[in-house]
Amino acid sequence: MTYDLVVIGSGPGGYVCAIRAAQLGLKTAVIEKDKTFGGTCLNVGCIPSKALLHASHMLSEAQYGLEHLGVIVSPPKLDLALMMQHKQQTVDANVNGVAFLFKKNKIDSYHGVGKIESPGRVIVATSEGAPQILETKNIVIATGSSPASLRDASGAEIVKDEKIILSSTGALALEAVPEKLIIIGAGVIGLELGSVWRRLGSEVIIIEYLDRILTGFDAEVASRFQKILEKQGLIFKLSSKVTNVSKTKKGAIVTLAAVDGSSQETLSADAVLIATGRTPFTDQLGLDEIGVSMERGRILIDDHFATNLKGIYAIGDVVRGPMLAHKAEDEGIALAEILAGQAGHVNYDVIPSVVYTTPEVAAIGLTEEEAKSQEIPIAVGKFPFSANGRARAMRETDGLVKIIAHAVTDRVLGVHIIGAGAGELIAEAAVLMEFSGSSEDLARICHAHPTLSEAVREAALAVARRALHI
For the annotated catalytic residues, the residue numbers are: 449
- Number of residues near ligand NAI (by CB under 6 A): 26
9 lies in the binding site for ligand NAI (CB under 6 A): no
Report the distance separating Cα 407 and Cα 428, nearest Å. 21
Q: Which member of 324, 401, 415, 433 binds ligand NAI (CB under 6 A)? A: 324
323 lies in the binding site for ligand NAI (CB under 6 A): yes
Q: Which stretch binds ligand NAI (CB under 6 A): 120-128, 197-205, 206-214, 223-231?
A: 206-214
Report the distance separating Cα 272 and Cα 180, nearest Å. 9
Residue number with CB closer to ligand NAI (150 or 405): 150
Contacts of 44 (CB under 8 A, 6+ apart): 168, 169, 172
Backbone angles phi, psi at 448, to 5 degrees: -60, 145
- For residue 25, how many other CB atoms are within 10 A of its CB? 9
Residue number with CB closer to ligand NAI (239 or 386): 239
- Residues between 40 and 99 that touch ligand NAI (CB under 6 A): none
Residue number with CB closer to ligand NAI (134 or 189): 189
Evaluated on CA atoms 346, 350, 355, 358, the torsion sign reads negative
Q: Please name which of 248, 279, 249, 278 lies closest in space to residue 266, comparing C-alpha atoms.
A: 248
Report the distance separating Cα 444 and Cα 94, nearest Å. 39
Residue number with CB closer to ligand NAI (186 or 401): 186
Q: Which stretch binds ligand NAI (CB under 6 A): 74-82, 276-284, 300-308, 378-386?
A: 276-284
Q: Which stretch binds ligand NAI (CB under 6 A): 92-100, 205-213, 301-309, 449-457?
A: 205-213
CB of 110 to ligand NAI, least distance (A): 27
E strands, 33-159, are 108-111, 113-118, 121-125, 132-141, 145-147
Q: Which residue is nearest to ligand NAI (CB)?
A: 187
Of all helices (H) and strands (E), which one includes residue 265? strand 264-269
CB of 41 to ligand NAI, least distance (A): 9
Contacts of 185 (CB under 8 A, 6+ apart): 206, 207, 208, 209, 274, 275, 276, 277
Residue number with CB closer to ligand NAI (151 or 469): 151
Instruction: Point out which residues bind ligand NAI (CB under 6 A).
Output: 150, 184-190, 192, 207-210, 215, 241-242, 275-278, 323-324, 353-356
